[in-house]
């Protein structure tokens, strides 16, 4: 399975062996369209279940890559050099990450003209992401029209959210006409992590209620009841919800009118402010949690306040989703910050013993790349660290769809 994540200026890919989920190659083409593009390709020799095993030598090429067409062609050449070109009989399908699938795409979907049109129709609600995803799919189709191409949508896992949680309390006709509602994102990660958390507890996903906290540069929370998503923090776009690396998360919508009227800012300027210059970077100038913690430890008050705002929002969502679920079996931390930042996990759960939530300090400090519990032995609610693996999940969903075709 070849998994492709085609972004606005980069293309990431991974080749996986579906016999055991082992990774055979990973690669990245960065700064597409700029003068200093770079391709990095690493052949790997497996290690089952999402493992990378021991790596081969990374090959790096610095040369201009003008567009996504050229990027995917360059990636295909690297794969072909390792004996796994896009026309290789062993390559069964390609799985594409597609950010916005609207309400229609509730499952991984085999791509045809009709599906391409619908992804295109969703561009107004995902103007940064869907066009880049589409470019990746179209190039792949051109390179090998016979290879099945599957779209795996970031929104799909959230399509089960009940109407009362998905609908904003604004005029129904306006909302419907412009498809304004909560879609949610990071769904592939929330699906994977909630399932892995149930496995970690030794229980079937259908029996377990989990709050998943996906804390990367983008961040979102979800409430998953018995394997089914019932609430998530991102909304029409990935701007809503938690404090993120550069995004504000929740604000009063009137902040926008205020800045337009009083500060004379344009809609595009406010868009950039809230998406790119807010969150942790807006609060303290840094969006890397490692650097923020270093500054906090050195007594930097600006960084301390940014950390407190970040954690306060997280705690509000934990409390809210506790109320949504009624009974919580586990809180799972994932993605760059969730997997690596013991201080964030500690602060997010501190003082919540009344809800059955706590971390064991020694377990919380341990570092490991496998799913693990960080709550005390007798905890009522498990607190887990579960590394996410969106590529493996996309590969598995793609494989499940095409293996019978």
Residues designated as active site: 154
Q: Which is nearer to ligand ADP, 40 or 160 (CB)?
A: 40
Contacts of residue 105, defined as CB under 8 A and 6 or more positions apart, other chains included, come to 98, 118, 151, 153, 155, 156, 159
Strand ranges for 93-184 from DSSP E: 94-98, 109-110, 149-153
Q: Which is nearer to ligand ADP, 166 or 385 (CB)?
A: 385
Q: What Cα–Cα distance (Å) separates residue 56 from each residue in 41, 53, 77, 84, 164?
A: 10, 10, 17, 15, 51
* Cross-strand pairs, 17: 22
Q: Which is nearer to ligand ADP, 93 or 384 (CB)?
A: 384
Helices and strands: H and E segment counts in the chain: 15, 14
Q: Kindly state the smallest distance separating residue 323's Cβ from ligand ADP, in Å.
A: 27
The reply to whether 340 sits near ligand ADP by the rule CB under 6 A is: yes
Site string for ligand ADP, 285-324 (x = CB under 6 A): --xxxx----------------------------------
CA distance 396 to 189: 13
279 labelled as ligand-binding? Answer: no
Torsion of CA 156, 158, 163, 167, to 10 degrees: -100
The residue whose Cβ lies closest to ligand ADP is 336
Q: Kindly state the smallest distance separating residue 220's Cβ from ligand ADP, in Å.
A: 10
The reply to whether 337 sits near ligand ADP by the rule CB under 6 A is: yes
CA distance 227 to 233: 17
Sign of CA dihedral 39, 43, 48, 54: negative
100 labelled as ligand-binding? Answer: no
Token digits for 88? 């290789």
Collapsing DSSP to helix, strand or coil, 173 comes out as helix
Interface of this chain with ligand ADP, residues 234 to 253, rule: CB under 6 A: 245
Q: Kindly state the smallest distance separating residue 334's Cβ from ligand ADP, in Å.
A: 8
283 labelled as ligand-binding? Answer: no
The reply to whether 336 sits near ligand ADP by the rule CB under 6 A is: yes
Q: Which is nearer to ligand ADP, 133 or 341 (CB)?
A: 341
Instruction: Give the angle 38-40-45 at the CA atoms, nearest 5°.
Output: 175
CB 100 within 8 A of CB 130: yes
Binding region for ligand ADP (CB under 6 A) out of 129-137, 283-291, 316-324, 370-378: 283-291
Binder of ligand ADP out of 218, 235, 241, 282 (CB under 6 A): 218
218 labelled as ligand-binding? Answer: yes
The reply to whether 75 sits near ligand ADP by the rule CB under 6 A is: no
Q: Kindly state the smallest distance separating residue 343's Cβ from ligand ADP, in Å.
A: 8
336 labelled as ligand-binding? Answer: yes
133 labelled as ligand-binding? Answer: no
Q: Which residue has the tokens 């026309």?
A: 87
Q: Which residue has the tokens 């075709």?
A: 405
Token digits for 405? 């075709």
Q: Which is nearer to ligand ADP, 30 or 288 (CB)?
A: 288
Contacts of residue 175, defined as CB under 8 A and 6 or more positions apart, other chains included, come to 167, 168, 181
Q: Which is nearer to ligand ADP, 329 or 391 (CB)?
A: 391
The reply to whether 69 sits near ligand ADP by the rule CB under 6 A is: no
Q: Which residues are annotated as a binding site?
A: 5, 12, 97, 214-218, 288-290, 336-340, 390
Contact positions toward ligand ADP, by CB under 6 A?
Answer: 216-218, 245, 287-290, 335-337, 340-341
């Amino acid at each position: 399975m070849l998994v492709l994540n085609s972004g606005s200026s980069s293309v990431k890919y991974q080749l996986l062996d579906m016999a055991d989920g082992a990774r055979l190659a990973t690669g990245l083409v960065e700064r597409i369209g700029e003068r200093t593009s770079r391709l990095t390709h690493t052949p790997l020799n497996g290690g089952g279940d999402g493992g990378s095993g021991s790596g081969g030598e990374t090959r790096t090429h610095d040369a201009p890559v003008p567009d996504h067409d050229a990027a995917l062609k360059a990636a295909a050449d690297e794969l072909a050099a390792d004996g796994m070109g896009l026309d290789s009989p062993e390559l069964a399908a390609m799985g594409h990450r597609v950010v916005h699938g609207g309400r229609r795409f509730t499952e991984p979907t085999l791509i045809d003209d009709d599906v391409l049109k619908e992804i295109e129709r969703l561009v107004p609600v995902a103007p940064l992401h869907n066009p880049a995803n589409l470019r990746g799919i179209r190039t792949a189709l051109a390179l090998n029209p016979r290879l099945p191409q599957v779209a795996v949508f970031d929104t799909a896992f959230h399509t089960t959210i009940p109407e009362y949680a998905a609908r904003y309390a604004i005029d129904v006709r306006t909302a419907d006409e412009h498809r304004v509602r909560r879609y949610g994102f990071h769904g592939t990660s929330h699906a994977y992590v909630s399932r892995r958390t149930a496995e970690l507890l030794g229980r079937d996903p259908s029996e377990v209620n989990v709050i998943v906290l996906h804390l990367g540069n983008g961040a979102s929370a979800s409430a998953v009841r018995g394997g089914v998503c019932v609430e998530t923090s991102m909304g029409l776009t990935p701007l809503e919800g938690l404090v993120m690396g550069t995004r504000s998360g929740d604000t009063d919508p009137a902040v926008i009118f205020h800045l337009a009227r009083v500060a004379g800012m344009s809609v595009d300027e406010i868009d950039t402010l809230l998406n790119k210059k807010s969150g942790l970077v807006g609060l303290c100038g840094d969006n890397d949690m490692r650097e923020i913690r270093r500054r906090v430890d050195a007594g930097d008050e600006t960084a301390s306040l940014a950390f407190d705002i970040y954690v306060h929002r997280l705690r509000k969502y934990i409390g809210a989703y506790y109320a949504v679920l009624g009974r919580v079996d586990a809180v799972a931390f994932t993605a760059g910050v969730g997997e690596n930042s013991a201080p964030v996990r500690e602060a997010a759960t501190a003082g919540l013993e009344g809800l059955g939530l706590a971390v064991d300090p020694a377990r919380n400090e341990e570092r490991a790349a496998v799913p693990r519990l960080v709550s005390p032995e007798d905890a009522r609610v498990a607190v887990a660290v579960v590394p996410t693996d969106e590529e493996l999940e996309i590969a598995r969903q793609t494989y499940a769809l095409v293996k019978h075709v």
